[in-house]
Amino acid sequence: MLENDTAPSRRTALRALAAVGTTLALGGCAGLGADAPRHDASALTAEPALLVATNRRPVDLGRAPWFGTERAALTVGRGRLVPPDGGRFSLASVGLSDWKLAGIDRVGQVDDLFFGMPTGRDVLVYVHGYNTTFETAALDAVRLSDGISFRGATMLFSWPSRAKLLDYGYDRESAMWSRDALDQVLDRLIVSPSVGRIHIVAHSIGTMLTLEALRQVHARRGDDLGMRIGAVVFASPDIDMDVFASSVGRIGGLAGKITVVTATNDRALAVSRLIAGGVTRVGAAEKAQLERLGIRVIDASERGFGVINHDLFLTNEEVRRVVRRAIDGSLPATAPSGVSAGPYGMAGGRAALSSQPF
């Protein structure tokens, strides 16, 4: 049993600034039902548990950070979560209270994670990006799932990032080293009778790892993989454009389930491009380049208000809506042309999205 009391993150503080204004504006409209439960609440609010699979080396197992930056064999467990206070006038309502990771209970293997759960339950797998600790990755997975009101089980696959700004090279190598471990996890989910559809959201370098693992599983499972995978969302993919095109061509019909969130003003990917010798990264590519591959593309270039614009899928409500619609299967089969994308809720389509049910 592993314990911790998590301090508020930088993202929590940033969200608080945006939430304060909204809360003050809406506070006067709050009625007697202000503290009623959300009708679209995620499954995490009722069952605050995060499924965990990681090939990081365990460290001090009595407290955070639990898992460090070194590589190790796969560890599987359940994270016990403490949700934020959900009251209308609570600290959470203005972004000053957040999810906490209270502890981790190990299990023997992936199949054991679903013991006692209803069969056929969908699973959302989150694969984090570069410069990320285990704890940050876990809470990002929880915020993503809760933010899109996901109704199934949520799983984190955490690979051994060194979590240092200047260790980009180590992180790339470590991510690629992890593809067999993610392959193993996905394969067990695919054959498990307890699991319904598997949805994957991967970020930054995590998209490269995820695409490689999917390619390996597809080579072994073929069309069985496509039948079990629901949506694959690549947020700000840090992948060489040529490598991406080649890999997409080798995963069959699964390519049609991929949605890519791009931003041409993603500063992190601009730096990655320099490191890679000027080769365009998928997450900063022009929309038309990706659409020619048959990929759904969400251009979020105009949605970011920050300096970096690399984690809009976590910080921008409109982008989260697109992720939710991808998982629900309510996005169009092909991306619309042009910048104005009403069905996607991005530039030119904000009003249309806000009035559409998920």
Degrees, nearest 5: CA angle 247-257-78: 95
* CATH number of domain containing 104: 3.40.50.1820
pLDDT of residue 135: 95
The region of weakest confidence among 84-88, 147-151, 192-196, 309-313 is 84-88
Question: What is the span of the domain harbouring residue 278?
Answer: 2-27+42-341
Instruction: Please state the rounded mean pLDDT for residues 257-269.
Output: 82
Q: Residue 235 domain-assigned?
A: yes
**How many other CB atoms sit within 10 Å of the CB of residue 289?**
16
Is the pLDDT confidence value at 47 over 50? Answer: yes
pLDDT of residue 86: 67
Q: Which residue has the tokens 């605050």?
A: 48
Q: Residue 74 domain-assigned?
A: yes
Q: What is the pLDDT of residues 103-152, one digit of tens each?
A: 899 999 999 999 888 889 999 999 999 999 999 999 999 999 999 999 99
Angstrom distances, CA of residue 120 to CA of 69, 195, 343:
34, 5, 29
What whole-number distance in Å separates Cα of residue 82 and Cα of residue 84?
A: 7
Q: Residue 350 domain-assigned?
A: no
Under the banding of pLDDT at 50, 70 and 90, the label for residue 223 is: confident
Using a cut of 0.85, tell me whether the model's pTM lies above it.
no
Most confident residue range from 61-75, 211-225, 264-278, 330-344: 211-225
Under the banding of pLDDT at 50, 70 and 90, the label for residue 303 is: low
Is the pLDDT confidence value at 9 over 80? Answer: no
Is the pLDDT confidence value at 263 over 50? Answer: yes
Percent of the chain residues topping a pLDDT of 70? 74
Alpha helices in 50-196 (DSSP H): 134-147, 168-177, 179-191
The region of weakest confidence among 1-15, 276-290, 326-340 is 1-15
pLDDT of residue 231: 96
Q: Residue 37 domain-assigned?
A: no
Structural domain count of the chain: 1
| Amino acid code (one letter) for 230 | G
Q: 251-270 as b/e, with b when 16 or more CB fall inside 10 Å?
A: beebbebbbbbbbbbbebbe
Angstrom distances, CA of residue 90 to CA of 11, 116, 197, 270:
18, 33, 35, 39
The region of weakest confidence among 91-100, 116-125, 186-195, 319-328 is 91-100
Is the pLDDT confidence value at 274 over 60? Answer: yes
Q: Are 59 and 66 in contact (CB under 8 A)?
A: yes
Q: Residue 348 domain-assigned?
A: no
Q: Residue 69 domain-assigned?
A: yes
Under the banding of pLDDT at 50, 70 and 90, the label for residue 325 is: very high
